[in-house]
Chain A
Amino acid sequence: MVDFYDPNSAGSEENSSTALKDLGTPLVEAKEQVNLTIDGRSITVPKGTSVMRAAALLNITIPKLCASDNLESFGSCRLCAVEIEGRRGMPASCTTPAEQDMQVCTQNTKIARLRKNIMELYISDHPLDCLTCPSNGDCELQDMAGAVGLREVRYGFDGENHLDAAKDKSNPYFTFEPSKCIVCSRCVRACEEVQGTFALTVDGRGFDSKISTGMDNDFLSSDCVSCGACVQACPTSTLMENKVIEQGLPERSVTTTCAYCGVGCSFEAQMKGEEVIRMVPAKDGQANHGHSCVKGRFAFGYATHQDRITTPMIRDNIDQPWQEVSWEEAIGFAAKKLKGIQAKYGKDSIGGITSSRCTNEETYLVQKMIRAAFGNNNTDTCARVCHSPTGFGLKATMGESAGTQTFDSVMKADTVMVIGANPTDAHPVFASLLKKRLRQGANLIIADPREIDLGNSPHVKLNHHLPLRPGTNVAFINAMAHVIVDEGLEDKAFIDQRCQLEAYQQWRTFISDIRHAPENTQDITGIDAEELRQAARLYATVNNGAIYYGLGVTEHSQGSSMVMGIANLALLTGNIGREGVGVNPLRGQNNVQGSCDMGSFPHELPGYQHVGNDELRTKFEDHWQVAIDNEPGLRIPNMFDAAIDGSFKGLYCQGEDIAQSDPNTHHVEAALTSLECLVVQDIFLNETAKFAHVFLPGSSFLEKDGTFTNAERRINRVRKVMTPLAGKADWEATMALSNALGYEMNYQHPSEIMDEIAQLTPTFTGVSYKKLEQLGSIQWPCNDNNPIGTPTMHMEDFPIGKATFALTEYVATNERANRKFPLLLTTGRILSQYNVGAQTRRTENQSWHDQDILEIHPHDAEERGIEDGDNLGISSRAGNTVLAAKITERMQPGVVYTTFHHPESGANVVTTDNSDWATNCPEYKVTAVQVEKVSAPSKWQQRQKDFSSQQENFLPRKRKGKAQFSWANK
């Protein structure tokens, strides 16, 4: 990919014109500066910067093929040769560091002849079908041939060549066409340096060199994770997106933010008209710096999948077919029903769930509608089932419900401890950055019942894998803290200056007790005492220790305690308040952080302001012109209980599939069937919608303006690239419902909603769309104290002044393996599918993972006579289901694992109602199960299949001519 030559901006010295340009080699940071002259013009650059990059900063474009500024220089194509005063020959400018007083000449007759000769050699073994090549107009080889003035190839074309090389079309998203390859090895280096997977190599030498995915395999069967970094790096058409091959080059580009995970990659949505041709990671994306994963880059097709429902539908009960109606009628129907329920059962008998996929503005409106129009605080969001303990635990210890760093901070870490997270699968772009740091030599500790891919990454040394038994987290973290205190490794100065001393002393007495020693917790956690001691020392004795954690920490009955335990550890060792350290919750969804920030919780208004705090609440009441209930409302699991109890009868559920993602499916289904009015606003008929009475068609991230907030607290713009298929963006639908319920909302544009948020939320006062345009993205808090945002938190003090230590006694979960259920089931995610799979199952990502499987250790399998591929019945006290088996040693004996991406798997039929004591976050990670060979699907699976089939048949017959664009019918 390349920048187009734009005569209008050529010759301009402005920095902004170089901002997105490929500067050839990476940025070098150094204190010392050097000044050099290139083609008579002077520039000062950090020492270590290449001559090529220095020239590019002067807007002098030296021809290049193998160089790219996201990769270390390689020096293989030799096209970038220059002449340097006082030096022999013509060195490559990409591998030559700039030096003080250097005089460089980038263009003269001698250099020109060399460059022509080089191009001539390249073109002698290259197809000459430019006009019909997918790269036509976007090819660096074309550009270089033009730049060097190539006019003939004196070798002729009759010699040996690679023009017959076979295409590899195994990957569903891109094609590998080796006949076009110039072996610049940018793809190989991108896979190594940017992605860290090392799936590619150059096979053979000299003329026989070719890019290879390994012996006897192709892209799909290799280690390739389809991140597309190679496709992006490729200067020719060798690696090319299939959509560009089919449809041609895009004509315009809009910058937006990915709607998959909490990394929140910035993308250029490259369009033809209103169709997205390809998503190219934005180079200036502060979270991703030009990289992405298979989902964000390639799996956007779901937005225009034929399953998209684009017309509102209603029905009186769920045994009836759906009736397509107008927006007005659907909204009116919903409003009338909801009001009717309140009249009959009371104000608190309805509630809503905000979406962690929708924008900040949309979430804000949903919780506002619930508080103002419903008149209660029965609002909650999916963070309930993932990171609500993070909110509780970090607020309690440090005063703010969010992670403390940027992603880039990992590059300064000396020891990284990953607890209960699987970043290569769930936060791939961050994991690539982490792997880069680990390859540089940082230490790695992984605490996880399974072996995760991060520990097996190429050139990454895993110092300690602590394979703890599910449910024993707090015992583990207490042991770590005990070792640090016991061996005198704490950061006394930090504790004195920044922590509440009385609380610390109390905690210190608690943690010093011998019961927390690793020797005494060994039997509980299964972690070898000496190994744990070494790990603790490795974290405590380096300059910068950083902890990254995920749902393996929070989705437990002591999730909140574990978060506090992690915070305790970071405070104990002074690993807070600068780069390279911190407590980093890996927030899952694209806007789950945002949804929490926007007041989706039943007890907190936007900005985590408690509803019971009169001063804070009246601020909202005054602005919204309505009274707000001063007591907390129902959380999602409480809503289910109340529904079954008969006191909760109506639910507005936006962009959340509780029927698939929440635990204890029998319980959820019972709750949903007892509702008198379930309104689902979503883009597909998901599992929850099958129980609904009103279906309001939602809009994908491509169809609206707004903002998402990622795991770094980074607020990023989402920009509309196509008209909403259903005619309304989600925020417009919520507004309509609120108006129909009698609470007026009249926003013309999401920026107005953000302005209102800024007025009411102290951590957001400086945020506006104008500022977002200027800065690109903003990490909150952004206010008078922090006018351009806050990359690193708690640098000088904590929101509560000094941080506190929490006493976290280990309390074993009720969910214990016993004779009837001797194994423990834990759950997780995989790279190619995303959460409930509603989006990714409707893309070609199905090629990688089209069913959930149960991973089991060979020992447990042997005991039960299980072989790979066998159908296994998994049963718990909550229910049972059937999955195919995979025997693997990355599990430990006694622990089995599955994913939850496919509704028919019924993974949540098996999970229980156990939850975190403080937040009711479900204990997905510990379920006592028995596993045995079976021959038929479970009863639930059979029922689900029949029910799904019935509900899908209830959808109106349509499709022919209904969709707006013909390509949407693919």
Chain B
Amino acid sequence: MTTKYHSIIKMSNQIADNIGLHLSKEQAADKVVNHIQLFWAKSMKNNLIKYFQEDGAQLGSITKRAVEKLMAKAEQ
């Protein structure tokens, strides 16, 4: 499972590491969500959500929060 999601995990954590600087966890997560919505394809977003639902262990805390927000938006 980790091989399939390896890319998604790496990319999403990397975004969080770079974009969420000097912000609160909520703000950082918002920025990550915003970036993913602007630049990621549907399938990538879905894969990230799937991974989070199945396991999510390798996601950083900001990333996890961001995925939660993504899921909330998806349901709207």
The distance in angstroms between the C-alpha atoms of A378 and B43, with both chains bound, is 11
Stretch at the interface among A220-228, A450-458, A731-739, A912-920: A912-920
Q: Which residues of B sit under 8 angstroms from A377, Cβ to Cβ?
A: 41
Complex contact B4–A811 (CB within 8 A): no
The distance in angstroms between the C-alpha atoms of A440 and B7, with both chains bound, is 50
In the complex, how many angstroms separate the beta carbon of B11 from the nearest chain A beta carbon? Answer: 7
Known contacts A561-B18, A811-B17, A918-B15; A641/B39 CB under 8 A: no
In the complex, how many angstroms separate the beta carbon of B2 from the nearest chain A beta carbon? Answer: 13
Q: Nearest residue in A to B22 (C-beta to C-beta)?
A: A807
Complex contact B43–A913 (CB within 8 A): no
Complex contact A612–B37 (CB within 8 A): yes
Within 8 Å by CB of A647, from B7, B18, B43, lies: B43
Complex contact B38–A612 (CB within 8 A): yes
Complex contact B41–A917 (CB within 8 A): no
Q: Which residues of A sit under 8 angstroms from B15, Cβ to Cβ?
A: 917-918
Complex contact A602–B22 (CB within 8 A): no
Known contacts A510-B22, A647-B43, A807-B22; A603/B38 CB under 8 A: yes
Q: Contact flags (1/0) for B24-65 with A, using CB distance below 8 Å?
A: 000000000001011111111000000000000000000000
Complex contact A917–B19 (CB within 8 A): yes
Say whether B21 faces chain A, with CB atoms less than 8 Å apart: yes
Which chain A residues in 619-639 approach chain B with CB under 8 Å?
631-635, 637-638
Q: Nearest residue in A to B44 (C-beta to C-beta)?
A: A638
Q: Which residues of A sit under 8 angstroms from B40, Cβ to Cβ?
A: 632
Complex contact A645–B41 (CB within 8 A): no
Known contacts A632-B41, A638-B41; A645/B17 CB under 8 A: no
Q: Which residues of B sit under 8 angstroms from A915, Cβ to Cβ?
A: 11
Complex contact A642–B22 (CB within 8 A): no
Complex contact A603–B21 (CB within 8 A): no
Within 8 Å by CB of A378, from B4, B22, B41, lies: B41
Known contacts A913-B7, A917-B17; A634/B41 CB under 8 A: yes
In the complex, how many angstroms separate the beta carbon of B10 from the nearest chain A beta carbon? Answer: 8
Our count of residue pairs bridging A and B at CB distance below 8 angstroms stands at 57
By secondary structure, the B interface counts as: helix
In the complex, how many angstroms separate the beta carbon of B21 from the nearest chain A beta carbon? Answer: 5
In the complex, how many angstroms separate the beta carbon of A596 from the nearest chain B beta carbon? Answer: 14
Q: Which residues of B sit under 8 angstroms from A633, Cβ to Cβ?
A: 41
By secondary structure, the A interface counts as: loop
Complex contact B37–A348 (CB within 8 A): no
The distance in angstroms between the C-alpha atoms of A646 and B21, with both chains bound, is 35
Within 8 Å by CB of A603, from B4, B14, B39, B43, lies: B39
Complex contact A920–B11 (CB within 8 A): yes
Complex contact A811–B41 (CB within 8 A): no
Q: Nearest residue in B to A392 (C-beta to C-beta)?
A: B39
Interface size on B, residues (CB 8 A): 19
Q: Which residues of B sit under 8 angstroms from A811, Cβ to Cβ?
A: 17-18
Complex contact A632–B39 (CB within 8 A): yes
Say whether A610 faces chain B, with CB atoms less than 8 Å apart: yes
The distance in angstroms between the C-alpha atoms of A811 and B15, with both chains bound, is 11
In the complex, how many angstroms separate the beta carbon of B19 from the nearest chain A beta carbon? Answer: 7
Say whether A558 faces chain B, with CB atoms less than 8 Å apart: yes
Say whether A809 faces chain B, with CB atoms less than 8 Å apart: yes
In the complex, how many angstroms separate the beta carbon of B45 from the nearest chain A beta carbon? Answer: 8
Most buried by B among A348, A610, A642, A917: A917
In the complex, how many angstroms separate the beta carbon of A908 from the nearest chain B beta carbon? Answer: 18
Within 8 Å by CB of A642, from B11, B21, B39, B43, lies: B43
Q: Which residues of A sit under 8 angstroms from B39, Cβ to Cβ?
A: 603, 632, 918-919
The distance in angstroms between the C-alpha atoms of A638 and B14, with both chains bound, is 15
The distance in angstroms between the C-alpha atoms of A637 and B14, with both chains bound, is 15
In the complex, how many angstroms separate the beta carbon of A127 from the nearest chain B beta carbon? Answer: 67
Complex contact A809–B38 (CB within 8 A): no
Q: Which residues of B sit under 8 angstroms from A647, Cβ to Cβ?
A: 43
Complex contact B18–A917 (CB within 8 A): yes
Say whether A938 faces chain B, with CB atoms less than 8 Å apart: no
Say whether A557 faces chain B, with CB atoms less than 8 Å apart: yes
Q: Which residues of B sit under 8 angstroms from A558, Cβ to Cβ?
A: 18
Q: Which residues of A sit under 8 angstroms from B11, Cβ to Cβ?
A: 915, 917, 920
Q: Nearest residue in B to A351 (C-beta to C-beta)?
A: B41
Q: Which residues of A sit under 8 angstroms from B38, Cβ to Cβ?
A: 603, 610, 612, 632
Complex contact B4–A645 (CB within 8 A): yes
Q: Which residues of B sit under 8 angstroms from A603, Cβ to Cβ?
A: 38-39
In the complex, how many angstroms separate the beta carbon of A742 from the nearest chain B beta carbon? Answer: 23
Which chain A residues in 905-964 approach chain B with CB under 8 Å?
913, 915, 917-920
The distance in angstroms between the C-alpha atoms of A557 and B18, with both chains bound, is 10
Complex contact B22–A917 (CB within 8 A): no
Q: Which residues of A sit under 8 angstroms from B43, Cβ to Cβ?
A: 348, 634, 642, 647
The distance in angstroms between the C-alpha atoms of A558 and B17, with both chains bound, is 11
A-B contact pairs, 16 of them (CB 8 A): A348-B42, A348-B43, A378-B41, A510-B22, A560-B18, A603-B39, A612-B38, A632-B41, A634-B44, A638-B41, A638-B44, A642-B43, A645-B4, A913-B7, A917-B15, A917-B18
Please give the residue numbers on chain A whose beta carbons come within 8 Å of chain B beta carbons, in ascending order.
348, 377-378, 510, 557-558, 560-561, 602-603, 610, 612, 631-635, 637-638, 641-642, 645, 647, 807, 809, 811, 913, 915, 917-920
Top 10 A-B pairs, shortest CB-CB distance = A917-B14, A917-B18, A634-B41, A809-B21, A641-B7, A633-B41, A631-B42, A807-B21, A917-B15, A603-B39
